[in-house]
Structures are given as C-alpha cells and as structure tokens.
Structure 1
C-alpha cells in the first residue's frame, strides 16, 4: 500500500464532489516529545486514510500540528483513535467556525524539523516557559481594557482581513520577522500586560516563551486562538472583539467571524476580503481580489501575469488543435 496520495488535482476534486456526506474541519496541536517519528507518521497516515480524512499534518520531535477535515460519520472514530495514540490523549480540538467541507482534498502527513517554521534556535531559550494561557472569555474581558497591549502574532496577509480591535499588527510575512519586531517594538513596555493571539494558539506558544526569554514579565496568550474565541463568544451571545475574517491555511482561505469587510481588493481598491492565489502558476502570489477583477484578470494578480497566463493558455489550445489535426 502506498502511504501517500497518487491522484491528480482534477481527480481529487471529482472525488470530493462525488461524496454524499458532510465533512468537519478541525485543527489541533500539541508540544510533546516524539521519538519514533517515521513509525508514528506511517501509523497516523494508515489510520486516518482508512477513515477518509484529508488534511495537512506535521510531526516533529517537538510535537504535532494538524489541520484536517473528517467525514462527519467518522468523527467519533477519529477522536477515539487520537486518544489511543500515546501523548495525543484528550487533545484540544478546534472545529471550524465556517465549513464548506472542501478545506482539503487529500491527506498529507509529513515529518518536519519543527511543527511551526519559526527560525528560532530552541536551544537558546526555554520553549516550555510559555505565557499565561487565557480562556476566550478572560481574553475578551482583558482585551477591552486600556492598560493592556494586544498583539496579533500572525502574518500581515492574515491580519489584513480580520483582527482584534486595537491590536498591534506588524507588517510582516513570516513568523520569525514577527517575534523579532514585537520584542523590539515593545522594549520600553516590558512590564505591561501583553495579550498575544493567533489562529489556533500554536504560534503563541513559541512567541510567548521568546518574549519571556527577553524579559517581558506579564505575557498572556489566547488559549485555542481565534477559532476557540469565536465559538465561545457566539455561545455567550457577546459581540466579538475580533472583526472581519479569520484567515485559515486550507482551501477555504478564511472563515467569516463578523460581517465587517476591513480590507480592499489589491487591484481596484474596492472593499473586499476574498483571498486567492494568482492563476499564473509561476507566480501563484496570494492576493485579495474582488469578483470584478477576478473576471477581468482571469484570477491573475497583475497585467504582466495576466499577459503570460493568456499566452500560455492560447499556446496550449493551439497545441491541442495541432494534435487533433494530425490524428
């Protein structure tokens, strides 16, 4: 049996569209020591493939980080299996706020050096000395106080479409840039109460430990991230302090938290918060693009990419005509 996907994109999409059941998207992580990485990788793939789970799972000696979707009728089996894996018992699961069942098309389980690419040298600081974990309701109450500092630990393309009100949002593209800039910007405010948040909580684990290593005395983090916060706030019937969309790293590219549209189309400037990847494969840049510009540029991010994209498409069409003529 092959322990990896062997289907092409069109086959994967057709397989998903043919399904007669619903899927639930879930994310989870845990920092836990793992020794038998290859064995665990294969065991997880075999078990979750049998349950027809799709998603992206990274395991490393430091733990596991997963974003997946699970067939609704296999959710209990999936949780039971997760509980049977040493170190994975009682895993906090963050179920998607919005779900169109198409978050992932295939299952990928990979062994990685780290479960989050952070560029930090773990040997120079205590990665277990994390900040105080706040429940969503604790974070909600504290975030509205004037004497606290709320920091978005996500990349700028994430915070652009949604963020907590009054949060500091550094203009960065990588997590390594983020942690360094935050430490630098807040040097004079080390004794203030700092609230960190990210999508599901995993990045805040490393970020809070890094800040404590640099002398910040009152570091706190939103346990479960924006996903858990949204579920709890909706359950309590309270207005969300997070506005807009929560960017997610799957084919949905975002889930709506409030009706606020706080960003703009990168091409025409119209209010819009729909992310897409440039249709010209050599570029594939992530942009915000409205429906009108998507039609005008056929999903491309610029005039140059649109020109190259249409040329490549015309060339492909011409080659098909030639082949047909020859046959």
Structure 2
C-alpha cells in the first residue's frame, strides 16, 4: 500500500495542550500512523506517515473534530509520498515550543512577516535590495539552498538570534526574505525580526517543500536537494525522493 506523508504545523493558542496528548495519540494509533508530533501552548508541529485514507482522516480530525475545537483552522500542511514507511514508531511529545527558539518576543500568534507564495518567490529574491536568508541548520544548507542565499552557519535554530544580532541591522537591511523546510522556522524568525525593529520581512509560505512542489524545475532558483527529517533523507523537485549519502535523522527536534 502506498505511504502518504503529511507535514503540518500551526501557531495557535493551546493552553490545554497537555490534555490533548493522549487523545491525539489514540487517534494516531487507531489510524496506524507513525512519526512525530510536538504539542505546546503555542501550537502543533508534526510529520506523520500512513495509508492515504488514514492521513486524510487524521487531517480532517485536526481541522474539524471536537479534539481541537476548530483552533487549527489555518493549518499549514504539505503532503508527499514515500516508497516505504519513513518512520519507525509514533511519538507525541509535550514541549515548551513547537520549534525551539528561546525568546518570547518571537510570537507568530501576535505578528509575523509577509507570506510569499512560491509563484512570487523568484521575483522577490531576484530583487537586488532583498537580503535572502536560509534559517535552517548548516548541515541542511550544505545539501541544498536557493542561489544567492546567506547561510547563517548555525547548528540549531535557537542560534539564529546570535546571527541576527551580529549580522543584521534594521537601518541597513531594509528588505529581508527568509525560508526553511516547511515554513515554521522562518515564520518564527520573521516574528523575531519584527519585534527587533525590522519592518519589511518576508517568508516563503509552506517553505522549500511548497516551492519544490509548485515551481517547475526549469524555472527554479533552488540548487541541490532539501533535507527532510525522516528516512527519505532528501527530496528534489516535484517532492521526488533523492538518494543522499547522509545519516538519516528522525528526531523532529533536530529541526529546531
């Protein structure tokens, strides 16, 4: 049976996130899903895999069931396929943040940068006054990135604050565009920069995966592959699996 993969997140107020853990685990187990889900007061972040109908039923439950009570009505969602199950087990974890950053001023439920659709991304990053920043970890950037992008050379997302403090200035860098795998890191980074006085901040909606799915390879400004945190390791244009000489990393926290 084909395996469908759903990567999803939403920043949303979930003060009852601890109570949501076991009902969510039961839902996933009943549907025979595997993967990782993080729950925190600020929202949900996860990647799950299973049969196509099971994944569709799970997504419908997130959006419409009583479990979340309509609070996940703006779920950022990306589907892809896998030749085999890319996860070994199911993990539902409670965290302080759904993507670890370590600064409360970064709050996407209050303010975020401007979302840019994949079809408009090339025009934005082709502008000479746009500072293009890859918010992912250095080992991810080494596999693939957008041409002309700045690599902050960070080992974890929380280190982005240090990069911004030493290399970005609201007075000099007036137009900033950021991207990451699925959108969650650059969304939080955009909130942080706005809180620090930057005014024109953009981020790629749905991240690299959304771009690779919708922008034809012949028009693409992406170079290389996109690292993903499961046993597929890397994806290319059209979200096709690409072999890569990398050790697979399946811990969702590694993306933080």
Higher helix share: 1
- Does TM, normalized by the shorter one, top 0.5? yes
CA distance in 2, matches of 1:68, 1:159: 24
Counterparts of 1:89 and 1:49, CA distance in 2: 23
Deviating beyond 4 angstroms after TM superposition, the runs of 4 or more aligned structure 1 residues are 124-127, 188-191
CA 1:189–1:136 in 2, change beyond 3 Å: closer, same or farther? farther
1:276 is aligned, of 239, 247, 250, to 247
Q: Which moved more, 1:152-161 or 1:213-222?
A: 213-222
Is 1:23 equivalent to 2:3 in the alignment? yes
Q: In structure 2, what is the equivalent of residue 184 of structure 1? A: 166
Correspondence list, 1:198-217, <5 A? 198-217=180-199
Q: Give the aligned partner of residue 322 of structure 1.
A: none
Number of aligned residue pairs: 241
What is aligned with 2:55?
75
- Correspondent of 1:112 among 83, 90, 95: 95
TM-score, normalised to structure 1, is: 0.68
Matching residue within 82, 104, 124 for 1:99: 82
> How big is each residue's C-alpha offset from its partner over 1:181-232, in whole Å with a ceiling of 9 and x where there is no partner?
0342122654521110000111112111111122212110011000111111
Whether 1:174 aligns to 2:145 is: no
The equivalent of 1:58 in structure 2 is 38
Distance between the aligned counterparts of 1:257 and 1:244, measured in 2?
A: 9
C-alpha distance after superposition, 1:97-122 (max 9, x if no partner): x62233212111111111111122x1
Match of 1:222 in 2: 204
Q: Tell me how far apart the structure 1 counterparts of residues 106 and 60 of structure 2 sit (CA, whole Å).
A: 35
Residue 48 of structure 1: SS of its match in structure 2?
Answer: helix
Over 3 Å counting, the alpha-carbon distance change for 1:188 and 1:73 in structure 2 is: closer
Pick from 47, 55, 70 the counterpart of residue 27 of structure 2: 47
Work out which structure has the larger RCO, using CA pairs closer than 8 Å and 6 or more positions apart in sequence: 2
The 8 Å contact of residues 33 and 63 in structure 1, kept in 2 or not, is answered as: yes
- Indicate yes or no: 2:136 matched with 1:142: no
8 Å CA contact 2:106, 2:189 repeated in 1: no
1:245 aligns with 2:229: no
Q: Which runs of 5+ in 1 are unaligned?
A: 1-20, 259-271, 279-285, 287-327
Bigger mean CA deviation after superposition, 51-60 or 211-220: 211-220
> When the two structures are superposed, what TM-score results if normalisation uses the length of structure 2?
0.86
CA drift of 1:164 comes to 0.4
CA RMSD after TM alignment:
2.3
* CA–CA distance in structure 2, aligned partners of residues 199 and 233 of structure 1: 15
User: For 2:82, what is the secondary structure of its paired residue?
Assistant: coil
Structure 2 unmatched runs, 5+: none
**Partner Cα separation in structure 2 for residue 42 and residue 205 of structure 1:** 28
